[in-house]
Amino acid sequence: MLVTGTEKQPKLTTALVERTSSSTFPGFKAPTSNTTFTPNQFFDVVIPNFSRGVVRIVGYLLRRTLGWCDANGNPQEEQISSTYSDLERRAGVSRDMIRHALDDAVAGKIIECVTEGRPKLAHDAGQTATYQLRWSAADYTTRREAFTGFFEGEGNRTDIPNEFFDVVIPNEPLSVIKVVGSIIRHSIGFQARHGRRRQQIAISYQQIENYARFGSRSDLAKALRIALEKNYIVRIEDGVFSPDAAERRRATYAIRWCDYPIGQKFAPADQSENRTIIGQISAPADRSENRTSIKTKQENETVKQPQPSSFTEAFTKLVEVGFDNSIANQLATQHSLQEIESQIAWLSQRAPARSKLGMLRRAIEGKWPEPAKLRATEVADERGREFARHFFAAFGGNKGEPVAEPSTRDAELATSFVARLTQITPANDIAAWGRELASRALDQRSPIPSLALAIRQCGDAMLASLQTRVRAESERKLEHAKSSHYAQYLPVYQQWLKHRETELRQTNASEFFEFEAKREASRKRLTDANASWSKSMLAVFDQENTRLADLRSHFSLPDFWQWDATINNEPFKPRT
């Protein structure tokens, strides 16, 4: 259980290993001791689908809850108090993102709120919010949409070296956590049918990309290089790409153990990873998440050449805008001069997310139509413009009035996103929403200065978080309304019970006599006890409220809410 708050907390009796530098990581200790018995769903569901902040908080909870067990396997500390400062220092979550990460983890059914927090006021000492891991009796699943909590049945857990929680998760970007987590899950996370757990795994780029849900292969390549350079993993055998399926081979990776138990020759850490799957073709950095493979032509393939003059002119124009000779030759061969000239002319009207050349190439290959020329007033209302202004201001660290004016495309995207937010709540806190999205974008594995990419990667999580907050606020208001209604009509309900008491005394004398005899026997037992506790209980027993409650129970009369719904002339009606 995790208690979050900004006030000073008592010192913990069991100290977690402080965050250490990973630049000289000696390797993971063998998983025979100093491990955390971790649910496999942490690797299958949480790491691939949630933000770095969620992964770090959940990893911190798993380490604290399941990393310290007694001889019987029971957690030594089920309730753990941690301040925001603890989460910032030990879990590695920035203070600005703790609230968002907790909300997202609750919305994702990874943790649950045990006690709602309450701010400290002049007349109120306040109360810290309390969270704990969420467990589920449902069948084991790796699908996020079917996940309702960590599987609490037997199996589906793995002893994970504590260094993964103490060194990798608090210190590294999400992409590196995904790479190391994928190798761990597919090696020691699986057991041979009649043997021990794997120590190494032959795994391809595509498998890691699909399992860990990477946005781009360039991010995956960078994360693999970092994981190799920092000694988190080792490459046992290089992968081979070949047109001949029989010659293809996946790269083999393993966790870097501090005692090097595998005993094979390691490939250099700085060797390029690209040839594992895509051979001599490197994925362009400007490609979007929806990637398509680019096939090279065989050397002996016959290609129909265009007219020499048009081909030469198209080739020249492509080289002049920045393409290298190989790509310019490919585009000039497959597309007409008119198509290429048109797309070059229209490029200034588009808004590329990363690379102009990348967008131009996709436009030529996809034969994109001419972009419509729209004014900002035609594609975005003032709310979208305000949202975008505050997004870029917060991204740049400006807490005051925004300076930059958004582009037409950004204003249009912001308008659509704000429309989705206002479907959840009528509150139009546009500026705060824009700054919240910027905060989420800054918390990703690499900062996202593009509003389009920020909405694509963080928009759904922000919508889910807002839904959770709106739902919690709605439930709070409902409980407050019910409490007020109960306080208002409780005297009327008690008066109704007293009226029924009079009726029952007259119409059902024998049953009422039995009720009074039962009450008198209980009173005699309390009197004969002659103890301090019996005197206080006797005082409560003799109160009118207690007698009426006993009357309701004995004669099966409706409780307050049953009476309110069926008999009260002014029943509770929640506001819609």
Q: Same domain, yes or no, for 88 and 113? A: yes
Residue finishing a domain among 144, 163, 182? 163
State whether 106 and 185 are in the same domain. Answer: no
Within this chain, do residues 145 and 180 fall inside the same structural domain, yes or no? Answer: no
Say if 218 falls within a structural domain.
yes
pTM for the structure as a whole:
0.45
pLDDT tens, position by position, 257-279: 886 544 444 444 343 333 333 23
Query: How far is Cα 80 from Cα 85, in angstroms, rounded to an integer?
Result: 14
Same domain membership, residue 202 and residue 88:
no
Average pLDDT over residues 517-534: 85
- Domain assignment present for residue 426? The answer is no
Is the same domain home to 111 and 243?
A: no
**Domain endpoint, select from 163, 191, 225:** 163
Q: 17 with 77, same domain?
A: yes
Q: What is residue 261's predicted lDDT score, i.e. its pLDDT?
A: 46
What is the domain-level CATH number for residue 200? 1.10.10.10
Label residue 375 left, alpha or beta by phi (over 0 means left) and psi (-120 to 50 means alpha).
beta
Domain assignment present for residue 512? The answer is yes
239-248, 260-269, 273-282, 318-327: the lowest-pLDDT one = 273-282
- Residue 149 falls inside a structural domain: yes
pLDDT at site 167? 92
- Determine the structural domain holding residue 185 and report its residue range: 172-282
Same domain flag for 153 and 16: yes
In this structure, are 496 and 531 located in the same domain?
yes
φ, ψ of residue 26 in degrees (nearest 5):
-85, -10
- Residues 336-340, mean pLDDT to the nearest whole number: 90
Q: In this structure, is residue 244 part of a structural domain?
A: yes
Number of compact structural domains in the chain: 4
Residue 515 resides in a domain: yes
Q: Which residues of 401-433 are buried (b: 16+ CB within 10 A; e: fewer)?
A: ebeeebebbbbbbbbebbeebeeeeeeeebbeb
> Model confidence over 127-162: pLDDT tens digits?
667 788 888 888 888 888 889 999 887 778 888 999
Average pLDDT of the residues of the chain: 78
Same structural domain for residues 257 and 360?
A: no
Answer for the pair 237, 290: CB distance below 8 angstroms, yes or no: no
Same domain membership, residue 78 and residue 123: yes
Percent of the chain beyond pLDDT 70? 75
Last residue of a domain, one of 163, 187, 222: 163
**Is the residue at 383 inside a domain?**
no
Name the nearest CA neighbour of 175 among 222, 116, 107, 118: 222
Q: What is the pLDDT of residues 353-377, one digit of tens each?
A: 557 788 888 889 888 888 765 444 4
Q: What is the mean pLDDT of residues 6-27?
A: 46
Per the CB < 8 A criterion, the answer to whether 211 and 178 are in contact is no
List, for residues 296-317, the tens digit of each pLDDT value.
334 344 444 444 568 888 888 8
Same domain for 205 and 95, yes or no, is: no
Ranking 96-110, 120-134, 229-243 by mean pLDDT, the lowest is 120-134
Is the residue at 475 inside a domain? no
Whether residue 176 sits in one domain with residue 159: no
Distance CA 143, CA 41 (A): 9
